[in-house]
């Protein structure tokens, strides 16, 4: 009977130790944080009659002592036709160490303690009667953009969604 009791106690200790390790690893995953409030103001990259290209940087930090992985990142722009139909606004996300001109995000390892940023690049083209990209941009309202990042740490895959507001004043400064 004593042997059975010792085995049960040891089994309980193993289970508790395992749960603690899992909990610690799960907490480490949540230490890869974004600082959307510290994002840069939109900066103009190029401007033609047909297109305005601008970008912003969103900083992040891996506060964990473990390596993490960015598997995918993309933006969703909340600008439905009912809100404003004078421009088509598209966006893509890149890491500065793996810049791309297509809509593909190159997965990358995020070492422990790394502080860096993701760059969100936007392309605005006029439509529905707006003659130039500048005219289309000057008529835009505030635009909410969701930055989605799919990542993995020590545990299962998880997502971040960071809503970022581009104000009409910030956008208008790009072409004035």
pLDDT at site 28: 46
Is residue 5, in this structure, part of any structural domain at all?
no
Is residue 87, in this structure, part of any structural domain at all?
yes
Task: Match 């600008």 to its residue by tokens.
Answer: 79
pLDDT at site 154: 54
- Give the CATH number, domain containing residue 104: 2.60.40
Report CA 120 to chain centroid distance, whole Å.
8
Lowest mean pLDDT among 21-30, 59-68, 85-94, 109-118: 21-30
Which parts of the chain fold into alpha helices (H)?
Answer: 2-29, 133-138, 168-173
pLDDT in tens, 81-133: 999 999 999 999 999 988 888 889 998 899 999 999 999 999 999 999 889 99
Question: By residue range, what is the domain housing residue 98?
Answer: 31-173
Is residue 13, in this structure, part of any structural domain at all?
no
Task: Match 């969100």 to its residue by tokens.
Answer: 120
Whether pLDDT at 30 is above 80: no
Task: Match 């297509």 to its residue by tokens.
Answer: 102
Whether pLDDT at 157 is above 90: no
pLDDT at site 132: 94
Is residue 111, in this structure, part of any structural domain at all?
yes
Segment of 10-19, 50-59, 65-74, 157-166 carrying the highest mean pLDDT: 50-59
Tell me the two tokens of residue 49: 């009659």
Please count the other Cβ atoms lying within 10 Å of the Cβ belonging to residue 102.
7
Is 122 in contact with 130 (CB distance < 8 Å)? no
Rounded to a whole number of angstroms, the distance between the first and last alpha carbons of the chain is 84
**Mean pLDDT, the chain, integer:** 87
Residues 6+ away with beta carbon under 8 Å from 19: none
Is 51 in contact with 175 (CB distance < 8 Å)? no
Q: What is the pTM of this model?
A: 0.80
Q: How many domains does one find in the chain?
A: 1
Residues 6+ away with beta carbon under 8 Å from 139: 84, 86, 87, 130
Is residue 114, in this structure, part of any structural domain at all?
yes
Whether pLDDT at 19 is above 50: yes
Is residue 1, in this structure, part of any structural domain at all?
no
């Amino acid at each position: 009977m004593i042997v059975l009791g010792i085995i049960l106690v040891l089994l309980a200790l193993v289970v508790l130790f395992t749960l603690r390790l899992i909990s610690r690893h799960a907490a480490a995953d949540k230490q890869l944080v974004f600082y959307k409030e510290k994002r840069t103001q939109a900066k103009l990259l190029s401007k033609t009659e047909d297109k305005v290209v601008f970008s912003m940087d969103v900083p992040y930090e891996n506060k964990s002592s473990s390596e993490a992985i960015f598997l995918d990142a993309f933006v969703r722009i909340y600008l439905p036709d009912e809100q404003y139909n004078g421009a088509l606004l598209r966006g893509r996300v890149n890491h500065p160490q793996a810049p791309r001109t297509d809509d593909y995000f190159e997965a990358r390892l995020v070492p422990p303690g790394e502080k860096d940023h993701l760059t969100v690049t936007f392309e605005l083209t006029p439509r529905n009667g707006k003659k130039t990209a500048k005219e289309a941009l000057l008529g835009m309202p505030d635009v909410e953009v969701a930055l989605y990042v799919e990542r993995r740490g020590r545990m299962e895959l998880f997502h971040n969604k960071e809503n970022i507001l581009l104000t009409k004043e910030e956008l208008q400064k790009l072409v004035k």
